[in-house]
Every structure is written in structure tokens, then in C-alpha cells.
Amino acid sequence: MRDIRALRALAVEGKPVGDLRIGAIETAMTGILPELLKRCSSAFPDIDIHVEPGTSRDLYTRIAHGELDAAVIMQPEFALPKMFEWQVLREEPLIVIAPGGTKGADPHAVLRSYPFIRYNQSQWGGRFVDAYLRQTGIRVHERLELDSFDAIAVLVDRGIGVSLVPDWAPPWPAGLKLRKYRLKDSKLLRRTGAVWLRASKRAPHVRALLGL
């Protein structure tokens, strides 16, 4: 099956054709991929794109094992091996989100004063959040731990607690009344980008998708 896909990946008149299997994290599925797919489908109509959701860690592993051709993930904490290509697509600062009626202007005080809804610490994004809390010495009163930023935003809107999240690309869940606090003391940025194998026969397809 891999040989058949490789044959289909050959360029026709200089344009890539055939299948392209990509993965994407939750926030990229709605905030980054739509524009990339729109542009790619218009410029390269002979590329058949299949999209699968997942976490950054799992998608990275699937790229390394050749199960996916590319993925849009959070940049890992470690240096990528030379076998990978990487292209940053978006940089996002951390923000504190609280229910719309929350009083007070100090985001640190908000984090200390209200129950905390944490993004899963086993995920790369969760460790990114933990890094800020450690750097600032903020102790939070943890109430919940979730794998979904959208779900966290909804729970904050309902008054369950506050959270620390990257300011991910819209759309956010509709109808929410949130107060967003900027962290002026933080230089941490969550970088979301595309990763793929440098020697992959579908590297031209990935570059076509990214407009490179």
C-alpha cells in the first residue's frame, strides 16, 4: 500500500498529486487548518487530503513512525532531530481567562484567588502552562484537569474556575462571556507549526499545503 501511495505522489506537470495524511491538534483544526486547506484545494486540486485529530505528542510520534505525512502541533520542548522539517505557523502568548464578571486587574491575584482549571499536565501544552506557574511561584487551587481548551473556556464561562491558556486562534466557543488577562511579565509563547519528515516523498505535498 505504501508503494501504491508513493506512485500516486509523483508530480504531474510539476504539480503534486495523490494522498496527503495530516494530523492536527484541537485548536489548529478550526483556527489554522481551514485557511491552509482552502488555499491548497484551490491551487492543488489533485491533492487528496485526509485530516486526523490528536495531541501534539501523539501526532509527533505518528510522524516519526511514518503513519502521517505531516502534522500541525505545538513546538516541542526538545530540539527536533535533523530528520524533521519544521515551519512555525502561529505564536501565542499565555493569558488568564476568568468569568466575565470577575473583579480585579491583577492576573496573578486572579490565579491565586479562584479555583483553577488546568490543561492536562501530561500534554506538551500542559507542561507549557506549568512552566509559567513555576517561574512565577504561583500556587493554584486546582479543581479540574481537562484535555480540551474549548471545554476549559466553557467551564470558566460557567463560573467553575479560572484558567491559564494560550491565546489560541479563533474561533473560540460561541456565546462565552470571558475576561482575558494579559501577562505582561511573560515572554513564553506557544508556537504552533507544521512538522514533517525531511526525506518524505510527500514533502512537496506538505510544502504545497503550507504555501512554501
Which amino acid is present at 63?
I
CATH class of segment(s) 2-90+191-210: alpha beta
pLDDT score at 15: 66
pLDDT score at 172: 94
pLDDT score at 24: 96
Asked if the model's pLDDT at residue 32 lies above 70, the reply is yes
pLDDT digits (tens, 9 = 90+) for 122-141: 888 888 899 999 999 999 99
Share of the chain above pLDDT 90, in %: 69
**CA atoms of 141 and 111, how far apart (whole Å):** 8
pLDDT score at 43: 82
Asked if the model's pLDDT at residue 190 lies above 80, the reply is yes
Reported as a pLDDT band with limits 50, 70 and 90, residue 150 is: very high
Residues whose CB is less than 8 angstroms from the CB of residue 94 and which lie 6 or more positions away in sequence, other chains included: 128, 129, 132, 164, 165, 166, 167, 183, 186, 188, 190
Asked if the model's pLDDT at residue 62 lies above 90, the reply is yes
pLDDT score at 29: 94
**CA atoms of 59 and 134, how far apart (whole Å):** 27
pLDDT digits (tens, 9 = 90+) for 98-122: 999 898 899 999 999 999 999 998 8
Asked if the model's pLDDT at residue 82 lies above 60, the reply is yes
**CA atoms of 90 and 61, how far apart (whole Å):** 21
CATH architecture of 92-190: 3-Layer(aba) Sandwich (3.40)
Question: Start-end ranges of CATH 3.40.190.10 in the chain?
Answer: 2-90+191-210, 92-190
DSSP labels for 11-51?
-BTTB--EEEEEEE-HHHHHHTHHHHHHHHHHH-TTEEEEE
